[in-house]
Structure 1
Amino acid sequence: MADLTHLQDFIEPVSKAWLNDDQEYDPAQMGGAIDTYESEAYFPDLDTADIVLLGVGEERGSFPPRNSMDGPNAIRREFYNLYYWHNDVRVADIGNLLPGQGLGDAYAALSAVLTPLIDAGKTVVILGGSHDLTYAQYQAYASKHYIIEATVADALIDLQEGSPRRDLSFLMDMLTEQPNYIKHFNHLAFQSYYVHPRMLETLDKLRFDCYRLGRVRENLDEIEPVLRNTDLFSLDLNVLRASDAPATAISPNGLTGEEACVLARHAGMSDRLSSFGIYGYKTGADKGSMTAKQVSQMLWYFIDGRSVKNREAALTERESFWEFHIAGADIETVFLKSKKTQRWWMQLPSNDFVPCSHHDYLLASNNEIPERWLRHQERL
């Protein structure tokens, strides 16, 4: 693998001693198991790492504008105290991104750190500041002309053209700038009363998929195939309800903490996902560090999902799958079900297999064309 030690030019170390009040972590805790960038004399061995953590405190695209590492470090304080159950998943923490002179410098620095890590086959988890950092997350792919599928979980849809706040408008640039490298875009758990109807009309015309909060909560398993097909996942913590994320929520309604953990686990199970940004955490309003604890548990479940993914067979290993042939008046296709993880895939007319759910199989068995199948065909 390429030498990644040059990344030290962009980041600053994290002190485990400070995070744990000068106490030693138990080797069975995350703090004892994670290979952390603690001093300039030692940089983690990223060759063996599956997941790389990066803190980014940039909030100058939000209100009030600021740059602070308090947020990523508060999450680390809680996460490092959790117990490490997944010996087949190696985690490295490379510290916090240094602040740039301006917001554009911060975007460029984040993209410059992410790109070589993605090239090296690492999955990067960004413990972020404001949600507009998703744009820099995307630029890490665009700079190499990688064509990707992107998914955002957010109570809002940040397409407010002309807004002075980048965290409310960044999707406009991300989805419309040319050349564009987003093959498909999904938006999860938006709350309709916060979204202008024309925004949804525009996204639908582009054949993008938007799932309102109620639809996501009705059946989280239907969202798993969406995340399985995703390269870039960005989650704004405002997608959680106020009682479960008091430091960041904007609404009494939203995902529960448990549901957010399920989404994180689904994301970890994806063999395509290479970056996962968790944005919007603010320390000042976090009573009892409850939101930091929530994020830390989402991270734990993301790692749990990665452990499940490690056990999955390749689709070419047909002996590891049950195969179901469907031949009806309206649809003829093949479904595969993993014997190891119970996940489903369906075959398109192009002969490619795409992630799907058990519900899609049941629809096809009743000679009904699954919406997921139709949407894939429309996009093709």
Structure 2
Amino acid sequence: MAFDFLVPVNDKILAHCELLPAQALGNKIHKHSERKGLPVLANASFALIGVNESRNAFEKKPKSLNISDIRLQLYKLMIGNWNSTIVDLGDIEEGETVEDTYFVVRQVVAELLEEDVIPIVIGATQDITYPTYRAFDGLRNMVNLVSVDSRFDFGQEDELISSHSYISKIITDQPNNLFNFSNLGYQSYFCAQEEKDLMDRLFFDGYRLGEISSDISLAEPVLRDAHIVSIDLRSVKASEVSFSENFSPNGFDGKEICSIARYAGISDKVKVFGVYEGENSPQCYQLIAQIIWYFIEGHNYRVVESPFIKSENFTKFIVPTDADDLIFHKSSMTNRWWVEVPTILTSHNKSELAALLPCTEKDYYDACNQIIPERWYKAYKKGFN
């Protein structure tokens, strides 16, 4: 069993929980300990996992990420008005090879997915996203991945997998289960024009940092359709995280990255949430803890809804355009919007129903002005699932 490879939570961290207030998360989380063993997964909503693997880091890490100190900051936070059960499964340490570590991550995440438990992964490097993606093999036909990152992480053609090239591995590796990839927060001076062209050719979605920062709510429809959300902390400005040379003066601030995490939690499709590329600094530990807190907080407000299930909760709008009639649906419960994409009968979509693409109210008004939403166009071209 893959869980046999999990290392219990450090005894010092467990002892510190005894000093925390009763309302602190540390006293509510069921923890993997040397004395009690693994917690029971029954009825659990989330499982925390640390992954101490950094050998494929693009910028070599002089020290291992101190996941215990991240736990300490998370445990100190007060629990929200949640009905969720949280377990902490401990850490996955480096295997004999990186591939051994990937195998354990993949197996652990796959077992949690089968139990309908959301893994929250704290990883030293973002290439750990790759085995979490492979965990869906056999569980889902197609997967949507959202990366919050200042780069696209395609890498060079001859480059082995690293934290700067794992997306290329996901795109080319078989079986290919990736349906859509979206990037939130890329910074143009870090991205080659060839990478931007590749995003367009594959009909993937990329959103510049300035675009999302000017209206953080633009991230919500993108995250609403994600199965995996992977946050690279290098998308956050250095002053918010660490003044290490690996971080940029520009990026999301703490409030923005926590808003993105909350949107990810609200999405009823997100099955895996990961935070990667942290630095060993007290400020970074606190930020990671708060990002995770907001993801769990968002989950508490999840609403599963669809105009195809309960149409009485939706208002339907038909917008004639030069390209096609666009059919929008607005929820009266959450005020969220969707737009239909005509079904393209491929291996990705064999239903006779139109596909639903999450969108914004602005997309509806743009369509009324004969401006076709770019995401709709890309989904139409690709055959949105």
Q: Fold-level match, TM-score > 0.5?
A: yes
Q: How much has 1:19 moved relative to structure 2?
A: 5.3
Residue correspondence of structure 1 range 136-285 to structure 2 within 5 A: 136-142=131-137, 144=139, 146-161=141-156, 162-163=158-159, 166-246=162-242, 250-283=247-280
Q: CA deviation at 1:301?
A: 1.0
| Aligned amino acid, residue 137 of structure 1 | T
What is the deviation of 1:343? 1.5
Tell me how far 1:234 sits from its aligned partner.
1.0
Equivalent of 2:325 in 308, 325, 332: 332
**Equivalent-residue separation in structure 2 for 1:198 and 1:227 (angstroms):** 25
* Cα gap change, 1:61 to 1:224, in 2 (>3 Å): same
Of 313, 328, 337, 1:344 maps to 337
Give structure 2 stretches of 5+ with no counterpart: 344-353
**Whole-Å Cα distance in 1 between the matches of residues 17 and 52 of structure 2?**
23
Task: Call closer, same or farther: CA 1:364–1:230 in 2, change over 3 Å.
Answer: same
- The equivalent position to 2:116 in structure 1, one of 78, 96, 121, is 121
Question: Does the 8 A contact of 1:330 with 1:368 survive in 2?
Answer: no
Equivalent AA in structure 2 for residue 364 of structure 1: A
Partner SS state of residue 38, structure 1? coil
Q: 1:265 to 1:103 in 2, by over 3 A?
A: same
Q: CA deviation at 1:65?
A: 5.0
Q: Secondary structure at the match of 1:230?
A: coil
Cα 1:53–1:301 change in 2 (3 A) is same
Residues 1:305 and 2:301 aligned together: no
Give the distance between the partners of 1:299 and 1:342, measured in 2 at CA: 25
Q: How far off its partner does 1:376 sit?
A: 1.1
Mapped contact 2:29–2:87 kept (Cα < 8 A): yes
Deviations 1:150-204 (A, max 9, x none): 1111112222224467222222211122331101111221111111111111221
Partner of 1:355: 358
Identity over the aligned pairs, expressed in percent?
A: 29
Return the letter of the residue paired with 2:217: D
1:279-294, aligned counterparts within 5 Å?
279-283=276-280, 286=281, 289-294=282-287
Shift in Å, 1:41: 3.2
1:37 to 26, 29, 32: 32
Give the CA deviation at 1:132.
1.2
CA distance in 2, matches of 1:49, 1:340: 27
Q: What is the TM-score of this pair, normalised by structure 2? A: 0.89
**CA 371–143 in structure 1, closer or farther in 2 if over 3 Å, else same:** same
Structure 1 Cα separation of the partners of residues 260 and 17 of structure 2: 34
Deviation at 1:205, TM superposition (A): 0.9
* Equivalent pair of 2:13/2:68 in contact (CA under 8 Å): no
Paired position in structure 2 for 1:3: none
Change (3 A) 1:111 1:293: same
Query: Counterparts of 2:62 and 2:100 in 1: how far apart (Å)?
Result: 14
Residue type at the aligned position of 1:170 = Y
| Residues 53 and 125 in structure 1, CA contact (< 8 A), matched pair in contact too | yes
Superposed CA deviations along residues 104-126 of structure 1, whole A, max 9, x for unmatched, are: 11111100111111122221110
In 2, Cα distance between equivalents of 1:324 and 1:307: 30
Over 3 Å counting, the alpha-carbon distance change for 1:340 and 1:76 in structure 2 is farther
Question: Is 1:93 the equivalent of 2:88?
Answer: yes
Report SS of the residue matched to 2:238: coil
Alpha carbons 2:205, 2:375 under 8 Å: kept: no
Deviates more, 1:109-118 or 1:320-329: 320-329
Normalised to the residue count of structure 1, the TM-score between the two structures is: 0.90
Counterpart-to-counterpart distance in 1, 2:31 and 2:263: 25
1:126-137 matched pairs, under 5 angstroms: 126-137=121-132
The answer to whether structure 1 residue 323 and structure 2 residue 316 are counterparts is yes
Paired with 2:226 and 2:180, the residues of 1 have a C-alpha distance of 9
Does structure 1 conserve the Cα–Cα contact (< 8 Å) formed by 2:49 and 2:120?
yes
> How many residues in Structure 1 have an aligned counterpart in Structure 2?
369
Task: Give 1:338 deviation, angstroms.
Answer: 2.5
- 1:329 deviation in Å? 5.0
User: C-alpha distance in 1, partners of 2:243/2:15?
Assistant: 22
- In the TM superposition, residue 354 of structure 1 has moved relative to its aligned partner by 1.8
**5+ residue gaps, structure 1:** 1-5
Match of 1:79 in 2: 74
Bigger shift: residues 251-260 or 134-143:
134-143
Deviation at 1:279, TM superposition (A): 0.4
Question: What amino acid sits opposite 1:377 in the alignment?
Answer: Y
Q: 1:57 to 1:247 in 2, by over 3 A?
A: farther
Deviation at 1:79, TM superposition (A): 0.9
* Aligned-residue CA RMSD (Å): 2.2
Q: CA deviation at 1:21?
A: 3.2
- Alpha-carbon distance between aligned partners in 2 of 1:281 and 1:127, rounded to the nearest angstrom: 9
Distance 1:368 1:192, change over 3 A: closer
Q: 1:22 to 1:51 in 2, by over 3 A?
A: closer
Q: Per the alignment, in what secondary structure is the counterpart of residue 19 of structure 2?
A: coil
